[in-house]
Amino acid sequence: MPRYVLLTRLNAQGFEAIRSQPELLAEARRVMEALDAKIVQQYALIGPYDFLTVVEAPNNLAAVRAVTEREATGRVHVDILPAIDLDVFVRLLGQTTETVGPYPWQISGWAQLVRRIMRYHTTTRYVRKHCKPFAVEGRERLDGLRNPAIFIGNHSSHMDSLVLFTALPERFRRRVAFGSAADRWFLKGRKGIQKQPWYMSLTMNTFPVQRGGGKAALGYAEWLLDRHWSLVIFPEGTRSTTGKLAAFRHGVSILALDKGVPVVPIYMDGLRELRPKGAQEIKVGPVLVRIGEPIRFAPGTAVSDATRALYKAMERMREEVHRRSPAPRAVAPPVSAEGSS
């Protein structure tokens, strides 16, 4: 998740408020966390600024909202600076920002055959090894549903794509593509064969999505839907570190409305504990996948209304999973009877 440095200056009214009510500092923290902005570090300063706060926020909008919320009191002024880890910055100095893909060949017959042969190596073995027990609820809600559809999931771990893929019936596994951030997975000149964009497209059928690219960035996704391929997209755009849902982006709604295809919300629980953001090792633990009812939008629905409806559907599923008391749950094998690997 992107980081920002917030530099705060208090005016005379702000100094007096903090001096008489130190608990206001804790209140500011709660306000930021309510906006899904996590405070990483915070310092009091001696000099032109009074406080330095390092914040993780889903995107620029969330950071600006956090600042606006704090400035609304009229007692502070905040300057905000996007920040990048120094080691990452050094690596980027020698790395191109040029991206490659998508590759139309990745839906060809030979690519599908290679992907099917490599499925155990790229997907199944990880789910079988680390997701214990592995449970899928609501797969019957997909009865009668055919390609194309858009599957959306909450995003908290690098395991998300593997688990969501495994939870789908075989008819969708054969014809599904995964949207991935172009500036992370499709950079030209990445080292290592398994990190090569073409390798990811061949083995997982991923395609690049330009962050913040608007409708123009959805051209390849539309091309896939027109050819009756389903899509998996994580509308939060980045992995959550808090367990809460971040704001959804509008790409899924635009595609669903333009192409008249259903959207299926899928909530995955337990993956953040298996491999949280920044972790290299994968732990073993229980994973629950809940498949929601397909959502179809009436023609003329506003994009913002559709996005809000998708967010609420996913949030309801999250609350239901977290609210219910622990109980034995039906364990489904990592791969259904429709596919042995």
Domain ranges of the chain: 3-83, 104-323
Rounded to an integer, what distance in angstroms lies between the CA atom of residue 306 and that of residue 314? 13
What the block records as the tokens of 96 is 């191109």
Minimal CA–CA distance to 64: which of 133, 4, 151? 4
Residue 334, by phi and psi: left (phi above 0), alpha (psi -120 to 50) or beta?
alpha
Cis ω on the peptide bond leading into residue 102 (within 30° of 0)?
yes
Neighbours of 73 (CB within 10 A): 12
| pLDDT, mean of residues 234-259 | 85
DSSP string covering 270-339: SHHHHS-TT--S---EEEEEEE---B-PPTT--HHHHHHHHHHHHHHHHHHHHHSPP---PPPPSS-TT-
Rounded to an integer, what distance in angstroms lies between the CA atom of residue 218 and that of residue 153? 18
Rounded to an integer, what distance in angstroms lies between the CA atom of residue 318 and that of residue 269? 8
- For residue 167, what are the contacts with CB-CB under 8 A and spacing of at least 6? 136, 139, 266, 289, 291
Q: Which residues pair with 136 in a beta bridge?
A: 289
Instruction: Show the CA angle centred on residue 16, arms to residues 10 and 17, nearest 5°.
Output: 85
pLDDT digits (tens, 9 = 90+) for 38-47: 788 899 999 9
Question: Does the pLDDT of residue 305 top 50, yes or no?
Answer: yes
Are 149 and 263 contacting, i.e. CB atoms less than 8 angstroms apart?
A: yes
**How many residues belong to the chain?**
341
Question: Does the pLDDT of residue 101 top 50, yes or no?
Answer: yes
Question: Does the pLDDT of residue 325 top 60, yes or no?
Answer: no
Question: Does the pLDDT of residue 215 top 80, yes or no?
Answer: no
How far is CA 298 from each of CA 20, 254, 261, 314, rounded to the nearest angstrom?
A: 54, 13, 11, 19
pLDDT bin (cut points 50, 70, 90) of residue 336 is very low
pLDDT digits (tens, 9 = 90+) for 15-43: 888 888 888 888 777 777 766 677 888 99
How far is CA 29 from each of CA 8, 22, 60, 198, rounded to the nearest angstrom?
A: 13, 12, 18, 43
Q: Edge-to-edge, what's the strand order for the sheet holding 230-233? A: 131-137, 285-291, 263-269, 150-153, 230-233, 176-181, 206-209
Architecture (CATH level 2) of domain 104-323? 3-Layer(aba) Sandwich (3.40)
Terminal C-alpha separation, the chain: 33
Instruction: Show the CA angle centred on residue 311, arms to residues 101 and 223, nearest 5°.
Output: 30
pLDDT bin (cut points 50, 70, 90) of residue 302 is very high
Backbone φ, ψ for residue 303 (5° rounding)? -60, -45
Average model confidence (pLDDT) across the chain: 84
The reported pLDDT for the residue numbered 36 is 64
Instruction: Show the CA angle centred on residue 232, arms to residues 2 and 276, nearest 5°.
Output: 40
Q: Which residues pair with 152 in a beta bridge?
A: 233, 265
What the block records as the tokens of 320 is 């239901």
The distance between the two most distant Cα atoms of the chain, rounded to a whole number of Å, is 71
pTM of the model: 0.71
- For the domain 3-83, what is the CATH superfamily, name and number? ACT domain (3.30.70.260)
The reported pLDDT for the residue numbered 237 is 79
Residue at token pair 């300063």: 45
SS3 readout for 246-261 = CCCCCHHHHHHHHHCC
Question: Does the pLDDT of residue 324 top 90, yes or no?
Answer: no
Do the domains at 3-83 and 104-323 have one common CATH topology?
A: no
Rounded to an integer, what distance in angstroms lies between the CA atom of residue 154 and that of residue 268? 7
Question: Does the pLDDT of residue 307 top 70, yes or no?
Answer: yes
